[in-house]
Amino acid sequence: MKKIFNILTLILIFFNPALAGDAEDKYWDTYADRIIKNSHICEDEAEKNGEFNSNIFDQCNYAMNKIEKIRYESAVAKDKNECDSMRKKIENSKMNAGSNVGNFLLGMLNQSMQNMACY
């Protein structure tokens, strides 16, 4: 039993899943702040000549929306890469603990690590 706990501890140290899968969450956590800030920047640009220029405002918003789309796609890709990486690590680290209980615990740990990285 002590051997099983040592194996589980080593797996947790090497495959720290708590750090994975949060790029998209961070994107959404700061989304509203970025949109408000971008809107103020576009308003300031549109009002630089003393009166509001809607063409400049629209072009600025269009550019900001393209940037947000790229930022979102990058966050999603980063999360997908972390998920795929965790699945490969789990697949490469398949081991037999020597008992049904040990194998069950290792299976539960692997599933937990995959869930934390992918969902």
- Tens digits of pLDDT across the chain (119 residues): 455 555 555 555 554 444 445 777 788 888 888 888 888 888 888 898 888 888 888 888 888 888 888 888 888 888 778 888 887 877 777 777 677 777 777 777 777 777 777 76
pTM of the model: 0.54
Q: What is the pLDDT of residue 18?
A: 47
Place of tokens 């989304």: 31
Nearest-10 crossing angle of helices 100-118, 2-14 = 20
Query: How many residues comprise the chain?
Result: 119
